[in-house]
């Protein structure tokens, strides 16, 4: 019997297992439908059980862990910023996660505005007047933290689900840093 209760995060990249061994016929990629089925049913249950604010916080925190691990294991953090962003863009596209574009980058003040298109979370969703990419906010914050070693706050300001055709995020240095 496993005891899962704890007051710390223990996730590590190795917890994803050996996909090549475990899925020799189906491989590592799944349809967006399967990803969204998991995400939106989980989100629905969490909102019902804990409310919207707590759910959004939990999704952000999960994304933060994932972003740090993604960066640590798939990205070269020794690159200069522009090279790092190009590498990040290429990796996100190769992994079929999204198409990332940087709109503005004020590196002196650590403020970045970016868009993601064709993302896993919401591209193609019906308009609901909500922003739903809290996991992505955390994911981006985690990547930036792992790369810069500084805490960032990332907020989605435009979302496909609220009527836009891309998701736009603003990242800035956290005031808690």
How many structural domains are present in the chain?
1
* E strands, 111-166, in order: 111-117, 152-158
Judge whether 140 lies within some domain. Answer: yes
Judge whether 6 lies within some domain. Answer: no
What is the pTM assigned to this prediction? 0.93
CATH code of the domain covering residue 17: 3.30.1380.20
Identify the band that residue 2 occupies on the pLDDT scale cut at 50, 70 and 90: low
- pLDDT single digits (tens) 148-169: 999 999 999 999 998 898 999 9
pLDDT attached to residue 128? 87
Contacts of 1 (CB under 8 A, 6+ apart): none
Q: Is 165 helix (H, G, I), strand (E, B) or coil?
A: coil
Burial bucket for residue 32 (CB in 10 Å: 0-12, 13-18, 19+): middle
| Contact status, residue 129 vs residue 66, Cβ threshold 8 Å | no
Judge whether 7 lies within some domain. Answer: no
Q: Is 114 helix (H, G, I), strand (E, B) or coil?
A: strand
- pLDDT single digits (tens) 34-75: 999 999 999 999 999 999 999 999 999 999 999 999 999 999
Kindly report the average pLDDT of the chain as a whole number: 93
């Amino acid at each position: 019997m496993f005891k899962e209760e704890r007051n710390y995060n223990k996730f590590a990249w190795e917890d994803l297992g050996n996909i090549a061994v475990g899925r020799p016929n189906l491989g590592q990629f799944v349809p967006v439908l399967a990803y969204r089925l998991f995400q939106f049913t989980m989100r629905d249950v969490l909102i019902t059980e804990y409310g919207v604010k707590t759910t959004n916080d939990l999704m952000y925190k999960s994304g933060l862990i994932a972003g740090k691990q993604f960066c640590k294991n798939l990205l070269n953090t020794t690159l200069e910023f522009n090279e790092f962003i190009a590498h990040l863009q290429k990796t996100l596209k190769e992994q079929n996660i999204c198409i990332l574009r940087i709109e503005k980058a004020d590196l002196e003040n650590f403020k970045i505005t970016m868009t993601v298109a064709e993302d896993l979370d919401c591209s193609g969703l019906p308009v609901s007047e909500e922003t739903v990419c809290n996991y992505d906010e955390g994911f981006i914050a985690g990547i930036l933290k792992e790369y810069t070693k500084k805490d960032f706050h990332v907020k989605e300001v435009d979302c496909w689900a609220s009527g836009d055709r891309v998701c736009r995020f603003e990242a800035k240095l956290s005031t808690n840093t």
